[in-house]
Amino acid sequence: MSAPPSRRETKSAIGIIFDGLNISATTEDASATLCLNGYSVSESDKGKWLAIRGGRNFLPGSYQIVSLDSGANTWTLDRRCTVGAGDGMAGILVNQEGCWHDAVPQYFDEEQPDNPGLGDARQRVLEALAMVEPGILKSLAETCFRGELLKPEVADDHDWYGPVDYLLWGHVRDAGNTISPTGMVFPNLRPLRASLVRWAKDEPQHGWNLCDHEGEPLDWIADAAVQTLVYWQQRGGLPKNLRWENLDLHCYRSLDSEPELEMFELERQFDAGAGFVRIVPEHGIDYSRLSARNQRKAKQKYKFLGRHLGLTPMQRPARRDFEWYALQTFLGFKLREIRERELLAGRSVGDPRNPDDVSAISHSIKKIADLVGFRR
């Protein structure tokens, strides 16, 4: 992370939390200028630090606000903060003097079924899917974003009653199942389920396949789809730029035992001084910053505990690794086709003297498949 010029230790104060939904920011392209939503810029913002945690095409890190335009409601930061048109920015605004502590790599329990390594990898696959094939989200809107599907009529006791805010893929997945002695559950959600299956299989075009080996929509993709539909319904219509509104993957559980919970407390102390929040923006804001000496000691303890407990540090593979995985696994590209696509874009991959060398692509796809937990 970038650090302010001064190296002296001082306190920081949280000004505002950007949750990526109600209070957020966008950029028109790869840019240092942010258009703010849900917050009005103020002259007092100049000189403060914006710690960006996430958002589509945003680069996590700490950025200083160098200028603003109250008419356009924009901030200009000290450097570019996106790699393309960005939206859904999440982070915190901090009145910060002195130096930032470096962010600490997160350790997690790989044995937990919903661990943050799995959640982060799946979230990045969804983002890659939206980039390499925007038609997936467009098709979701056309196929499933209809009132009669999301707010169906209630005819009997076993129907889904709503409200739509509480609708989850688990309800839709079980629609039409018969459970004795209850009988059929959520029969009024069967049309939504059929629409989601049709969308996941891209019928009749078959341009993609978002299903598991049994032909059912992958739970984590279908869950993201339902959350996205619910978000669109809540806001009263489709946004200008369609993106996944999956609010759960980055909240996957990290640690569970007593020593691991001690590590979690250390993580939140690190967050207070690093301008980085690893779970949700609300976590860590009540913690005071550690001094440089205490930060070093806490890091040593954190890493020792992680190694002692046999935990896994978070991996951050390159973005194109996730793109290659999405292209092969869900869009049916062959390895050679992926390499040709990279070469056409001016990106080198493999041995340039050997047109059949796809070993790097194959290795990357296997690595992502292991992180995500699914391989075609």
User: Are residues 90 and 162 both part of a single domain?
Assistant: no
d(CA 329, CA 331): 6
Whether residue 60 is contained in a domain is answered as: yes
Whether residue 376 is contained in a domain is answered as: no
> What is the reported pLDDT for 10?
37
Backbone angles phi, psi at 82, to 5 degrees: -135, 160
User: Are residues 90 and 168 both part of a single domain?
Assistant: no
Q: What tokens does 165 get? A: 């805010």
Domain that holds residue 151: 136-235
User: Are residues 14 and 87 both part of a single domain?
Assistant: yes
User: Are residues 261 and 214 both part of a single domain?
Assistant: no
Whether residue 301 is contained in a domain is answered as: yes
CA nearest neighbour of 87 among 230, 239, 220:
239
337-341 mean pLDDT: 94
Least confident of 45-49, 167-171, 243-247, 350-354: 243-247
> What is the reported pLDDT for 208?
98
Q: Are 272 and 287 in contact (CB under 8 A)?
A: yes
Whether residue 190 is contained in a domain is answered as: yes
User: Are residues 68 and 28 both part of a single domain?
Assistant: yes
Q: Mean of the per-residue pLDDT values for the chain?
A: 85
Whether residue 214 is contained in a domain is answered as: yes
Cα-based distances in Å from 121 to 182, 249, 315: 38, 9, 9
8 confidence band (pLDDT: 50, 70, 90): very low
The total of structural domains in the chain comes to 3
User: Are residues 226 and 280 both part of a single domain?
Assistant: no
Whether residue 375 is contained in a domain is answered as: no
User: Are residues 215 and 276 both part of a single domain?
Assistant: no
CA nearest neighbour of 198 among 126, 165, 149, 155:
149
CATH code of the domain in which 73 resides: 2.40.30
Whether residue 205 is contained in a domain is answered as: yes
User: Are residues 224 and 303 both part of a single domain?
Assistant: no
User: Are residues 87 and 161 both part of a single domain?
Assistant: no
58-64 mean pLDDT: 80
Chosen domain end from 285, 313, 341: 313
Across 73-77, 103-107, 153-157, 239-243, which has the greatest mean pLDDT?
73-77
User: Are residues 15 and 94 both part of a single domain?
Assistant: yes
**Tens digits of residue pLDDT in 172-219:** 999 988 876 767 889 999 999 999 999 999 999 999 999 999 999 999
Chosen domain end from 313, 334, 364: 313
User: Are residues 272 and 224 both part of a single domain?
Assistant: no
Whether residue 349 is contained in a domain is answered as: no
Backbone angles phi, psi at 358, to 5 degrees: -120, 20
How many CB atoms within 10 Å of residue 184?
Answer: 15
* Alpha helices for 56-215 (secondary structure H): 116-132, 135-144, 147-150, 169-173, 190-201
pTM: 0.75
User: Are residues 13 and 92 both part of a single domain?
Assistant: yes
d(CA 101, CA 126): 31
> What is the reported pLDDT for 281?
45
